Each structure stands twice: as structure tokens, then as C-alpha cells.
Amino acid sequence: MTQPLRILLIDDNRSDRLLVLRELKREFDQLDVQQINSSGEFSRAIRAGNFDAVVTDFQLRWTTGLDILETVRQHYPRCPVVMFTNTGTEEVAVEAMKLGLDDYILKEPNRYIRVPTAVRIALERRQVQQRAALLEIRLQGLLNQVKIGIFRSSSEGILLEANRAFLELLGAESLAQASELNLIDTRHYYSLLIDLPPPQQQEQEVQLHRSDGTEFWALLTTTLNTVEGITVIDGLLEDITERKQGEVALQELNATLEARVQKRTAELEAVNQDLEEFTYSISHDLRAPLRAIQGFAQILLEDIGPSLDASNSECLHRILANTKQLNTLITDLLAYSRMRRVEVALESVNLSVALTDVLATLKPELQERQAQITLEEPLPMVRANAPMLNQVLINLLLNAVKFVANGVQPQVRVWAVENRPNEATGEPSTIRLYLEDNGIGIASEHQQQIFSPFARLHSEADYPGTGIGLAIARKGIERMGGQIGVESQLGQGSRFWIELPAGKP
């Protein structure tokens, strides 16, 4: 059941009290009106506090409406008070409003009806204010639980509001201390925000000082807002000192690792250089005695070969075969070393001309294997070193016609595609040359391995070779600023490709 509205009606004039009471009963269904006509009655009512609103005259025999108002405000600050009088003045009305009067109504015949309306409005206003006060208390409690500092400042740099975390971050006991020590210069951030387009918000990492002088890093988010026509700065402040320290430590670690990597790289390059020079020297020095062995073995074969028995004849042929194989290995080693050592001068090279020269060089080997090579003309220009490009193409073509199944005629198709990058990037066009064969193919797990020196996927008996050919091709393409790769499936042939910058016609 709804509680009745309890009203103190204070007036010396009984007729006026009755008229006001009549209008109040018309407005409110459930009403409990306590009529006050003396100081004693008023004092008892104040002590009891059993009322929700007060309606009072100004001029009373035993006091004034202002005294009534002050007494009510002193004991019950939130209780609505409406003054209904015909003896007050404008000055009285102003003074009463300053003291917190909710409404001031002149006591005239046609204005009695306004009293209940004024009471209702005053009660509703008090309820709104009470809810707002409770909401503010809850909100402040919630803000104080947040670990991120929250604050509001005027454009002049005066801190207006803040939660507990904000003060703790700055080591301040109060907003006044934080403002006095200028622990956060909001005027500076206002100057940064004022010229920004909506929503006039900025996030930055800043270094601030606490009240004890210690420094800390913070992530500061500021927003320019307008509250009741006044420009304010709303901000969030988060301590990121640990994160910044971690970043510094990571940077130092990266710098240390980078220095170690550079040192190790330099050491490896020096070792590689020594190994290359050693390989070149050994390979070069082996050629003379190898030629002597090969030459004397050939002389023996020609002079006494017919008179040798089968066992000795086989040994002599093995000597010649092994010296030939070793000579091929030395030649490949020198070619690989040369790829790494020689200066590379790049120029525009016609792929059609280069492949024609290579096919002429390989004519005996291609005829021996009955290989069919198809060039899809026209082939474009590339930027390359002509001798080095020829060596790469020789190795790729020999590789394509060698690794075929028994009884299969080698077939190689050669064509080129121009890759035009986005003009906005400013990168030059490239040419990708494809060599597609009908060979035995390469399993995906071995497709990177085959470009390493001495990488072999098959026995010497099945597919003779040194295992350096593709390594030479890779090194040559890389020295010319290009790329090399393969697309293949086991048993379905291979498609090798090289990619070089486009040349000028």
C-alpha cells in the first residue's frame, strides 16, 4: 500500500490553511497534512520529522518563513519547502531562494491552485536529485575501483575531478596538491587538442613526475569536451612503466643479438672466403697431375691395350673413367668458385640469342640423348651477365635432359613471362624464364635441397654427375640479382624457373 504524502502546513490564518488543504486534497489522493499554528507545534514536528514537504506563510505571529526555511534546511536538507504568502517582497523571495526555497507563490485567490503543483514539482525535483546523488556515489565508488587514473580538468589547467587511482599514480593526496605541484600540465594538452578535428582526442606516451620527484611512463588519453557550456579536458592515465622498461630491455637485447649476428656473419664470411680460396687452389693444382695421369693412361691403352688381359684392360679403363669423372668435378668446382669470385657486370641480354648459343654448345650432348628442345619465341631481354647466364642455362638444360626415365625421349619446353608490378610501388618489371621437362620429377621435401652443393637424390650409377650443377645455377642467378626455383611432382616432370630484371630492348 502506498504511503500517504505527509505535509506540514504552516499558516496563522485558518481560512488560508483550509483553502490550501482543499487544493492539496484535489491533487493528492493519499494525504496526511499536519497543520502548524505555533512555535511549539513546529518544534515538535521538527523533532518528530514525520513529513515529506513543507508549505509555509512568510509572515507568522511567532516567526517568519525564512526562519522556518532555515530550520527545515538545518535538520532536513532535502525536504522541499514552498512559501505561499501575501506579505513578502521581492527581496524576501530572492533571499529565500538563496537559502534553498523550492518555490515562492503570492497568496492570491487564483493562485491557491498552484500550491499542490509546486509541491509535486518540488518533490519530483528532490527525487531526481536524490537519484542523481546516489548515482554519483555509486559512480565515484566504481571509478575508485578502476586501476586506471580518470580525471577532468579545466582549460586553464585546474583539476576539477579525479578518481583515487589518478591521485595514487601521481603520489598526490588531493586534487589541490596535484594542481599546485603541476604534476600534469593539462594546459599543454589543451593546446594540443584545440586544433584537432572532432572528436578532438589524442593518445600519447608521456613521462611524468610524482609528487616525490620520481619519474614514470604513462599512456595518456585526452579528449576535449563541453560540459554545461564549459570546455573541459577529460583524461585517462595508465602506468606503463613496466612495459617501457621491457621495451628498453628488448631493444638492448636485440642490439646485443644483432651485434653477435654481425660478428658471427663476418666470421662465417671469412671462413667461407678461406674455404673458397682453398677449394679453388686445390682444384686448380689437381688439374696438372690429373691431366698427366689421364694422358699416361691413354698412352698405355693405345700402346699395350690390345696385349693386356681382360682384368688389366678393365683396370686401365677404370682409371680413364675415374680421371674423366674427377676432371668433370674439378671443372664444376672451379665454375662454382668462379661464380662467387668474379665481378658481375650486368647488361641487357637477349634470351633468344643466349639460348641459341647454349643449344649450339650443347648440340653433341643433346643429339646423343635425342633431346627435343622447344623455344617459344619471341623471348624478351633481361638484365644479366651474358657468360654467367649462359653457364646457368647450360646447367639447367643438362639437368632437364638427364633426369628422365629409361627409354623416354627428353623433351624440354622453354618460354618466358613478364611480370609487371604495381606502378605505384616503383619496382621494375621482371622476366621469368621457364624450362619444363618430362623427367622423373622431384618430391616436394627435396625441392630446396637440390640447389645445395653436392646434393644428390639418386645414385651415381643411375644418374652420373657431380651434384654441383644446380648450385652453380643458383649462385649465378643470385649474383645477378635474380631468383631461381622449381615446381615439380614426383613422376610428373619438373618446371624450373629463373627470374631476372627486365632488360632494355
- Give 375-430 pLDDT, tens digit per residue: 999 899 999 988 889 888 988 998 888 888 888 999 999 999 988 876 666 677 89
So what's the pLDDT on residue 288? Answer: 61
Mean pLDDT of the chain: 83
Which of 28, 32, 19, 31 has the alpha carbon at shortest distance from 111? Answer: 19
Pairing between β-strand 31-36 and β-strand 372-375 as defined by DSSP bridges: unpaired
So what's the pLDDT on residue 1? Answer: 52
Which of 399, 402, 407 has the alpha carbon at shortest distance from 472? Answer: 399
| Beta bridge pairs of residue 383 | 348
Percent of the chain with pLDDT over 70: 83
Question: Which element (helix H / strand E) includes 433?
Answer: strand 430-437
Q: What is the DSSP letter of 347?
A: E
So what's the pLDDT on residue 278? Answer: 56
What digits encode the pLDDT tens for the residues 119-158? 999 988 888 887 776 666 666 666 666 678 888 888 888 8
Where do the DSSP E strands lie in 3-148? Answer: 5-10, 31-36, 53-56, 81-85, 103-106
Contact 384/503 with Cβ under 8 angstroms? yes
Measure the CA–CA gap between 34 and 10, rounded to whole angstroms: 8
Measure the CA–CA gap between 44 and 48, rounded to whole angstroms: 6
DSSP helix/strand/coil, 85? strand
Q: What is the mean pLDDT of residues 347-376?
A: 92
So what's the pLDDT on residue 324? Answer: 66
Q: What is the mean pLDDT of residues 294-317?
A: 74
So what's the pLDDT on residue 334? Answer: 64
Instruction: Give the three cell numbers for residue 55.
Output: 508549505
Measure the CA–CA gap between 182 and 174, rounded to whole angstroms: 12
Q: At what angle do helices 65-75 and 90-98 cross, to 10 degrees?
A: 10
Q: What is the mean pLDDT of residues 305-318?
A: 75
So what's the pLDDT on residue 427? Answer: 72
The CA dihedral of 239, 242, 245, 249, to the nearest 10 degrees, is -150
Compute φ and ψ for 502, nearest 5 degrees: -65, 140
Percent of the chain with pLDDT over 90: 26
So what's the pLDDT on residue 218? Answer: 86
What digits encode the pLDDT tens for the residues 16-33? 889 999 999 998 989 999
Pairing between β-strand 81-85 and β-strand 372-375 as defined by DSSP bridges: unpaired
CB under 8 Å to 250, separation ≥6 — which residues?
A: none
Handedness of CA 344, 345, 351, 353 (dihedral sign): negative
Q: Which residue has the higher pLDDT, 454 or 358?
A: 358
Measure the CA–CA gap between 79 and 73, rounded to whole angstroms: 7
| Beta bridge pairs of residue 436 | 413, 495
So what's the pLDDT on residue 376? Answer: 92
Instruction: Give the three cell numbers for residue 1.
Output: 500500500
What digits encode the pLDDT tens for the residues 185-221? 888 888 888 888 878 888 888 888 888 888 888 888 8
Measure the CA–CA gap between 78 and 56, rounded to whole angstroms: 16
- Please state, in angstroms and as integers, the Cα–Cα distance from residue 244 to each residue in 148, 151, 239, 313, 413, following that order: 17, 23, 10, 80, 59
Contact 237/166 with Cβ under 8 angstroms? yes
CB under 8 Å to 4, separation ≥6 — which residues?
A: 28, 30, 31, 32
Question: Which element (helix H / strand E) includes 430?
Answer: strand 430-437
The least confident of 19-33, 242-256, 276-290, 291-305 is 276-290
So what's the pLDDT on residue 233? Answer: 85
Instruction: Give the three cell numbers for residue 134.
Output: 546516489
Q: pLDDT-based confidence at 264, cuts 50/70/90? A: confident
